[in-house]
Structure 1
Amino acid sequence: MGLNLFLLAGPLCAQASPPQAAVLHVSTGSTVNADGSVTPLYTAMPVQIMVQPPGPQDLQLVEGLDQQADLRVVYVNAAVRALSRSSQTGGDILEFSGSDWLVTRSVEDWGADASGESEWVKVVVTRQLPASL
């Protein structure tokens, strides 16, 4: 196991942006209903996150999407994936501040655990209305 940067940087970052409790809903696929509609499936797990407003570089990542949405940047000590239609993975949702936030962009990841998953990530999330879970 390598050096856990989140463990080292977390206490220092917490002075500027205290961590908060959240629930990570990890996408586990979907099921097709009898009427042909699709219902996503999730596994929930508690996580600690640090939330910040998006900076100029983060906004450039979503600039071409012409979205008028409530965005946040979230740092989380877990493997979190944005939706990837080509690989049919992701679509994870973070639940915090009374709302569901869809992971719309994975910005950075650090480290890797034994399974090769990221130890911690920086993602852009978009508020979902109404609650999707």
Structure 2
Amino acid sequence: MGLNLYGLASPLCAQVAPPQAAILQTSTGSTINADGSITPLYTATPVQIMVQPPGPQDLQLQEGLGQQADLRVVYVNAAVRALSRSLQTGGDILQFSGSEWLVTRSVEDWGGDASGESEWVKVVVTRQLPASV
């Protein structure tokens, strides 16, 4: 059994950024409707997260594009994936603070098991507009 880094670091980090409850919507693919539209499918799991404002390194230009968006950095003790079109994975969503936040970039991951799943991750999330807008 490996070293549980999240278990060691979490109590120390909680003194600065207390954990909060969230719902992780893990993308499980999509279904094609009769009219040709696509509906994404998710599995919902309750998780504890630590949220921080993004630092300068998290706001770096990606491929020469600057983004104007409401961003947060989130640490979570779960396998969370940003969208990867080439691998056809990801597109996970975190629900917290009354909003849905799309995982737009995986920054770091720690630990891992035999399946290759991360023990905990640092991701950048972007607030999504409500469906009614």
Smaller-chain TM-score bracket: over 0.9
Map 1:106-125 → 2, pairs under 5 A: 106-125=106-125
Structure that is richer in helix per residue: 1
**What secondary structure, in the 3-state scheme, does the structure 2 residue paired with 1:65 have?**
coil
> Distance between the aligned counterparts of 1:26 and 1:50, measured in 2?
18
User: 1:126 corresponds to which residue?
Assistant: 126
Report the alpha carbon displacement of residue 92 of structure 1 after superposing the two structures with TM.
Answer: 0.1
In the alignment, does 2:75 pair up with 1:71? no
Q: 1:29-76 CA deviation, whole Å, 9 max, x = no partner?
A: 000111111000000000000000000001115483322100000000
> Distance between the aligned counterparts of 1:5 and 1:131, measured in 2?
37
How many pairs does the alignment contain? 132
> Distance between the aligned counterparts of 1:39 and 1:71, measured in 2?
25
Residues 87, 44 of structure 1: alpha-carbon distance in 2 compared, 3 angstrom cutoff: same
- For structure 2, the residue ranges without an aligned partner over 5 or more in a row are none
In the alignment, does 2:20 pair up with 1:31? no
Structure 1-normalised TM-score? 0.95
Residues 61, 22 of structure 1: alpha-carbon distance in 2 compared, 3 angstrom cutoff: farther
- For structure 1, the residue ranges without an aligned partner over 5 or more in a row are none
> Distance between the aligned counterparts of 2:72 and 2:120, measured in 1?
16
The amino acid that maps onto 1:106 is S
